[in-house]
Amino acid sequence: MPIVGYPGWPPVIDANTREHVRFSMSDGRRLVPCRISIGTLRDCFGDENSEPIDLFESCQTEIEDAASRKYAGVGISNGLIELDEKDFN
């Protein structure tokens, strides 16, 4: 089952790590927490000076598609879907 973006929860910088952008998606029944490291965002979609939330929003469809593929392939690990560079190759 694919997951889709959940517009009720905008992306935020992870307050615990300060190194990730957290966002939510939905499987139609519940929210699915997701995150992508700021380093991955910058490496895959921008540069070291890119503002993380702006970068996420400009590439949101591609990031959400990668999260949906990962969810379908391996599901949730440690309570969330965590994206890294290999999810975009």
pTM of this prediction? 0.91
> What whole-number distance in Å separates Cα of residue 88 and Cα of residue 13?
20
Question: What are the respective helix, strand and coil percentages of the chain, to the nearest 5?
Answer: 40, 25, 35
Task: Determine the pLDDT at residue 1.
Answer: 66
> How far is the CA of 76 from the CAs of 27, 47, 51, 52, 84, in angstroms?
12, 29, 27, 23, 14
Domains of the chain listed by start with CATH number: 4-88 (3.30.160.140)
Residue in this structure with the two tokens 């992870």, named with its chain if needed:
14
- Return per-residue pLDDT of the chain as tens, 89 residues: 689 898 888 999 999 999 999 999 998 899 999 999 999 999 999 888 989 999 999 999 999 999 999 999 988 888 899 999 999 97
| Residue 75, pLDDT score | 85
